[in-house]
Amino acid sequence: MNRRSAAGTVYADVHALGRDMRLECLWIDSPRPGAPLLVFLHEGLGSVSMWKDWPRQLCEAAGCRGLVYSRYGYGQSTPRPPQEKWPVDFMHGQAREVLPALLRALGVDARQDKPVLFGHSDGGSIALLYAAMHPDAVSGIVVAAPHILIEDVTVSSIEEARRAYQETDLRARLGRHHADADSAFWGWNDVWLDPAFRAWNIEEYLPRIACPVLAIQGVDDEYGTLAQIRGIRRLAPQTELLEISDCRHSPHKDQPARVIQAVAAFVGGLESHR
C-alpha cells in the first residue's frame, strides 16, 4: 500500500508519462494538528538523501509536515534505462502528470490539503509549472534558483559538470545518493545540452500562477543570473523576491538560516490568510 502518514520512507507505485515507476518518498511529521504540507522538489542531480536533514529543519521551523521524494531516474526511485532520452519538455511532464499522480498514490487530496511546494533549480521550474497547471491544488510555492529560460551561463556550467563527471570523482560521489548515478547524471546532462533545449522557455506559464510565490536566488549563482527570478516577478507580480549575497546555486546550503527564516515567514503568511 502506498499510503503512509507516519514519518519515514515509503515507495509509491505511480503510473505517469506512459510508464510505471516506483518513487522513493520520505514523510516528515509535525506535532501541530492541521500543519500544512510542504513538498520538496529536488534539483537536476538531487535526491531524497542529497537534501540531508535540511527539509526536517525547515519543517520544524515552519511548523509543517513534509514530503520529500526522488523523481524517476534519481535516488532509489526507478532508474532511467540507458537508451531513454528525456524530452525537452520533461519538466512539463513532471508538473502535469507525475507530481499529481504521486500525491494521489500517497492519499493526498491536493485540492483539499493544498500543499506548499519548495523547489530547487529544476525542481523550482517544476513547481512554477505545477502552480500554473493546477492553480486549485497548491497554496503557495517557494522556488530557489529556478530556471524560466536558458542562459549562456547555465549551459557553460552544465558543460563543466559533464567534464567533472568524466574526469573527477563526481560519479562516485553521486553514487552515494543514486541507485544508478549514470541514470541521474546523463538524463539531466544530455537534455540540457541538447541544442533543441536552447529554445526552452516557460515564461508563458507564469501569468497563470494565482498563488503567492517566494523566489530566492544567490547573487553568485553559477547556473543563472538574477534575470530568472526577476522575470518571475515581472510576469507574476505577487512574487516576493529574496536575492542573497555570498550565495551560489544552492541557497539552502550556502545560506541555510536565511532561507529557513524566509520560508517560515512565507508559510506563516499563507496560514494567516486562510
pLDDT in tens, 6-51: 568 999 999 999 999 999 999 999 988 889 999 999 999 999 999 9
For the cut 70, the answer to whether the pLDDT of residue 162 exceeds it is yes
Distance CA 153, CA 165 (A): 18
State the Cα–Cα distance between residues 72 and 78, nearest whole angstrom.
6
Dihedral in degrees, nearest 10, Cα atoms 91, 43, 240, 89? -10
Q: Is residue 251 part of a domain?
A: yes
54 vs 107: CA distance, rounded Å: 24
Question: For residue 129, is it within any domain?
Answer: yes
Asked whether residue 45 is assigned to any structural domain, the reply reads yes
- Has residue 74 been placed in a domain? yes
Q: What is the CATH number of the domain that holds 54?
A: 3.40.50.1820
Quick check: is 3 in a domain? no
- Residue 274 in any domain: the answer is no
Instruction: Flag whether 273 is in a domain.
Output: no
On average, the pLDDT of the chain sits at 95
Domain count, the chain: 1
pTM, two decimals, is 0.96
Range of the domain at 114: 8-267
Provide the residue type at 247 as one letter.
C
Reduced to 3 states (helix: H, G, I; strand: E, B; else coil), residue 141 is strand
